[in-house]
Chains A and B, each alone.
Chain A
Amino acid sequence: MEAYLTAFVVGGLICVIGQLLMDVGKLTPAHTMSTLVVAGAVLAGLGLYEPLIDFAGAGATVPITSFGNSLAHGAMAEAESTGIVGILTGIFEVTSAGISAAIIFGFIASLLVRAKG
């Protein structure tokens, strides 16, 4: 049960950061999401995102920051095992599920549904 509570609080707080970037920083949603992705990648580089996932579970893996973390994480892990070319081959290794799922389901949706109005 505790896992659900930490997921709720941490996930909610990341969303509040996004909301503050939009309201106080006057950023568009696209700018906000890009900022958060870059922030996630930077945190991964500093080795801070993994401990956050250990602590908050889905609260850290569901927000878009985890996308940046996975990109940086895959690139760094592959670079460690195969050398500098590994950055290119490893960058999408962990995020494959998210991007493929979004493309495939999004395309199926466009086949099935017509825009209203």
Chain B
Amino acid sequence: MSNKMKKKLTPVQQEYQAFAKEREPARPVAVNSLRAFLVGGAICVIGQGISSYFLWNFNFTEKTVGNPTVAVLILIAVILTATGIYDHIAQWAGAGSAVPVTGFANSIASAAIEHRSEGFVLGVGGNMFKLAGAVIIYGVFAAFVIALLKSIITMLGGV
């Protein structure tokens, strides 16, 4: 809770906040990080395997092979989400399964499946990007600002 919000609380509420914070279970940061490292690394190794396959069997170069790799990983992640396996992996791995692109696919597929009961247009269509939307919006806006800055710098004859 930010300091600004803290000031608005009554003394009793502040006391309770301190009381609750004392009893909050400590997060096992080291164990969580190790799990994230192992699972995240393993997903990247699978990605590397798919990359090698595309490099050997199709007309891709080191530069372009990222795209089909990501597409295949997304397909795998959606299948694992639909069968409910991805949830189990995510519970154990934390950020290890959320940070790779498979986590992005998982957030889209699980939102789509979850909101199916609200109808296909307003439910599935409207909620698919509930979590992934934030990623796309901030990614696109950051990319826009950066590309704009770079264009201006180049135009001014800099760097």
* Residues of A in contact with B, size category: 35 or more
B95 touches A18 (CB 8 A): yes
B98 touches A72 (CB 8 A): no
Contacts A4-B48, A8-B41, A115-B113; A41 near B142 (Cβ below 8 A)? yes
* SS class, residues of chain A in contact with chain B: helix
Contacts A11-B100, A19-B96, A32-B98; A38 near B142 (Cβ below 8 A)? yes
Query: Within the assembled complex, what's the spacing in Å between the Cα atoms of A8 and B75?
Result: 21
Chain B residue numbers with a CB within 8 Å of A64 are 99-101, 103-104, 135
Contacts A33-B135, A106-B78; A72 near B70 (Cβ below 8 A)? no
B71 touches A97 (CB 8 A): yes
B78 touches A105 (CB 8 A): yes
Interface 1/0s, chain A 7-33, versus B by CB < 8 A? 111111111111111111000011111
Distance (Å) between the CB of B27 and the closest chain A CB?
5
Chain A residue numbers with a CB within 8 Å of B41 are 7-9, 11-12, 15, 59
Taking the complex as formed, is B147 at the interface, i.e. its CB lies under 8 A from any CB of chain A?
A: yes
Instruction: Provide 25 A-B residue pairs closer than 8 Å at the C-beta atoms, listed in order of the A residue.
Output: A7-B48, A8-B45, A12-B36, A16-B36, A18-B36, A19-B29, A20-B29, A24-B29, A37-B142, A41-B146, A45-B146, A59-B41, A59-B48, A62-B47, A62-B73, A64-B104, A71-B140, A74-B143, A75-B147, A91-B143, A106-B105, A107-B124, A109-B113, A110-B113, A116-B84
Distance (Å) between the CB of A112 and the closest chain B CB?
7
Distance (Å) between the CB of B111 and the closest chain A CB?
8
Interface centre among B39, B45, B52, B94 (most CB of A within 10 A): B45
Residue positions of A touching B, CB distance < 8 A: 3-4, 7-24, 29-34, 36-38, 40-42, 44-45, 53-54, 56-59, 61-64, 66-68, 70-72, 74-76, 79-80, 84, 87, 90-92, 94, 96-99, 101-103, 105-110, 112-116
B147 touches A16 (CB 8 A): no
* Residues of B in contact with A, size category: 35 or more
* SS class, residues of chain B in contact with chain A: helix
Taking the complex as formed, is B6 at the interface, i.e. its CB lies under 8 A from any CB of chain A?
A: no
Interface 1/0s, chain B 102-116, versus A by CB < 8 A? 111100110111101
Contacts A23-B32, A24-B29; A8 near B44 (Cβ below 8 A)? yes
A29 touches B98 (CB 8 A): yes
